Structure 1
Amino acid sequence: MQLTFDEDVERFRAEFIAFLDEYLPPEATAVERPRSSSHVPQWAREWQSVQFDHGWLVPGYPPEFGGRNATVLQQYVHREELGRRRIYESCNPQGQGIIAASLITFGTPEQQKKWAVPILRGEMPAALGMSEPGAGSDLAGLRTRAVRDGGHFVVTGQKVWTSGAHDSDVVLTFVRTDPAAPKHRGISVLLIPTGTPGVRRRPFASACAADDLDFNEVFFEEARVPAENLVGELNKGWTVANGSLGHERTLLWMSFAQRLRMLVKDFTPHTELDTDRFATTVMDLQALELLGSAALAREQRGETDVAALSVLKLLGSEAVQQGLEAALDAAGTDGLTHPSVTSRHNLLNLEDHAPSWFERYLRSFSGTIAGGTSEIQRNIIAQRVLGLPRSSV
């Protein structure tokens, strides 16, 4: 077992560190906070564009998409160095990590040029339209309809929990194009510009704060969308959906590991108040990193293990939530009103605005929902890892 990286990976790391030292915006520049997961302030747009131009935005992509064809292990140390400085590369994570990734995998060259590249450069914020009032984790139950009418699709229906839609230029939207087909079939995917007549966005507050407007309801009232905005094949949207969620989950465990590392550091002053739960959080972080490293090694060898991603997603999201609950308990009443951080953070850190342990704990519930709920992950693990039969209930 090799627990260190080869020289080529460390050279890659050193080159990225040099880039950050030279180009990372100063804190005085990054004073404007993003107001949602699709709001990209001017400084953030410039920062994302610089990363794109130098091949550091998504290193695993080819240069035309802001990368440098990096290996899996090189991508890992890229994420690791971002985590060390507590920064993120984009203020529109779903645009970069899901929508653009889906277009690179399933889109036409014209769609990639028109949509993917501007999204990756931070010039075109994007949102993901999957969940509906009656179809959350059960995406196949969606009811938003798209009917072909000449050179357009006419879209009618509603999405919900659409993060950042009110600040987005386009929504990657999953629609039903064949209502007579079985529910996992007959789904298609459309790129719908938010300025399209008949598209209405309504942001609403979350439990974290009354002024935290990120979630949206999005209504489509006979919105006419050009047929050229169809992503992938007609009625084959389930394939795109699996690819989109795959893009979200592949490196998601690294995000949870990053949050756990920050949590361990911020929890340290309260360690003497709850040693056992602090130790559990540290062990969860070590377990996540070891299991994740094994998954990376398999991927580096070209082996795909989708079920392993479910294990990592479940472990990471619940470890973060349980660790934050322990920290909140240890902080006592101070955790309700006082800043949770114990050191000065870089203003590029998108989570740094959380004012208390309490808010950080509330936000942790999104991790056990987004990208497939913990219940769904347990079903996948039961069936595909443990070999248990499907429930007959």
Structure 2
Amino acid sequence: MQLSFDAEVEDFRAEFAAFLDEHLPPAAEADRASQSSSDVPEWARRWQRLQFDHGWLLPGNPPEYGGRDATLVQQYVHLLELSRRRIYHSFNPQGVGIVAASLLSFGTEEQKRRWAVPILRAEITASLGMSEPGAGSDLASLRTRAVLDGDHFVVNGQKVWTSGAHDADVLLTFVRTDPDAPKHKGISVLLIPTATPGVTRRPFASIIGSHDVDFNEVFFEDVRVPAANLVGPLNEGWRVANGSLGHERTLLWLSFGERLDEFIRDFEPAGPLDEDAYATAVLDAYALRLLGSAALAQAARGEQDVAGLSVLKLLGSEAAQRALERALSSAGPDGLAHPALTAPYTHLQSETMLGSWFERYARSFAGTIAGGTSEIQRTIVAERVLGLPRR
């Protein structure tokens, strides 16, 4: 296996690195930043717009949508460069990486012009309305209803854990439009402007919500949504969900080895990890990097190994969680306040790599839940890799 990139990819990386060196906003320009779409400051909007204009926001997109038709491997090194510098390319990650991507894949030309481009250019923000009480990892169990009434849908129901909804301009909302169809078949997707009468957003804190309130409950009470806001075919929302999440998941899961390596850099030689735990984290990082390289090469050839990605997601998320759990345990009471980094905080750094050991450990559960829980990944591996029966 060749664990390196060819000259064309390295030239691509160097060009992006030069762009970052020249254009990163100065730290004095901003206050402490958040990872959600909430309270996006003007400098962050300018930063995202600058990347869009130069083709660096989502390099896999065509130029008119903030990219430069980059290959999958080039997109991967773009992600790695951001990760190594611990910076954001957008402070509305769901809007850019999922909502706009869904519109570009499944939306009409009018929807792309009216919604996708303004989201990518940071003129508006967007949030993703998927999870509901009783329909978290099992999205197909959602109950929010949308009934067609003339040229509008009437929506009733509730969403929860909706990150950034309280400051979003529009929600990409998954609704049930055919209650009699099998649960994976009767789902549709609507763009619902948050200013629409009947939409109520209630933000709430989490155990790690000391800096920003991000989660929301969202209630829909007889909300009238134009039928023109239907994204993709009626009752084909499950295909939209898989398409919009799949590409983003693939790149993130491929990079688990590099991300664990970032964690390891923060473990000081004298602690908070003992030698055995430190060695385990290093070996996990190398193993994940090798698995990720093989999966990346496979994906670049146009092959998709869903079960292989489940192995990566399962091992990567749990390896990071184990390392952080050991770090917190070793740090003891100091873990409640111990800074993860000795370097100063900068306004573009990712909060997931900062904070106390407790905050970082608590955040690690997002990795073992979001995008399919560890239990779901184990089921996929059992059935598709090991060939075990469904029950």
TM-score range, shorter chain: over 0.9
Provide the residue aligned with 1:301 in structure 2: 301
Q: What is the count of residue pairs matched by the alignment? A: 391
Q: Which amino acid aligns with 1:251?
A: L
Provide the residue aligned with 2:280 in structure 1: 280
Provide the residue aligned with 1:342 in structure 2: 342
2:239 paired with 1:225: no
| Aligned-partner Cα distance in 1 for 2:314–2:124 | 32
Q: Which amino acid aligns with 2:144?
A: T
Shift of 1:366: 1.1
Provide the residue aligned with 1:319 in structure 2: 319
* Contact 1:102–1:244 (Cα < 8 Å) also in 2: yes
Q: What SS does structure 2 have at the residue aligned with 1:5?
A: coil
Shift of 1:271: 4.1
| Aligned-partner Cα distance in 2 for 1:107–1:389 | 38
| Aligned-partner Cα distance in 2 for 1:192–1:317 | 32
| Identical residues among aligned pairs (%) | 71
Q: What SS does structure 1 have at the residue aligned with 2:268?
A: helix
Cα 1:257–1:92, aligned 2, differ >3 Å: closer, same or farther? Answer: farther
* Contact 1:314–1:374 (Cα < 8 Å) also in 2: yes
Q: Which moved more, 1:285-294 or 1:191-200?
A: 285-294
| Aligned-partner Cα distance in 2 for 1:229–1:296 | 35
Q: Which moved more, 1:193-202 or 1:336-345?
A: 336-345
Q: Which moved more, 1:306-315 or 1:207-216?
A: 207-216
Provide the residue aligned with 2:82 in structure 1: 82
2:247 paired with 1:247: yes
2:238 paired with 1:238: yes
* Contact 1:174–1:189 (Cα < 8 Å) also in 2: yes
| Aligned-partner Cα distance in 1 for 2:2–2:185 | 44
| Aligned-partner Cα distance in 1 for 2:252–2:17 | 22
* Contact 1:91–1:350 (Cα < 8 Å) also in 2: no
String of CA shifts for 1:293-329, please: whole Å, max 9, x gaps: 1111011111112222211111111111111111112
Cα 1:111–1:248, aligned 2, differ >3 Å: closer, same or farther? Answer: same
| Aligned-partner Cα distance in 2 for 1:352–1:204 | 19
Provide the residue aligned with 2:26 in structure 1: 26
Unpaired runs of at least 5, structure 1:
none
Shift of 1:140: 0.9
Unpaired runs of at least 5, structure 2:
none
* Contact 1:146–1:154 (Cα < 8 Å) also in 2: yes
Shift of 1:173: 0.5
Cα 1:346–1:188, aligned 2, differ >3 Å: closer, same or farther? Answer: same
Q: What SS does structure 1 have at the residue aligned with 2:350?
A: coil
Q: Which moved more, 1:326-335 or 1:183-192?
A: 326-335
* Contact 2:281–2:323 (Cα < 8 Å) also in 1: yes
Provide the residue aligned with 2:169 in structure 1: 169
Cα 1:390–1:115, aligned 2, differ >3 Å: closer, same or farther? Answer: same
CA RMSD between the two structures = 1.7
Shift of 1:346: 3.3
Provide the residue aligned with 2:11 in structure 1: 11
Provide the residue aligned with 2:66 in structure 1: 66
2:132 paired with 1:132: yes
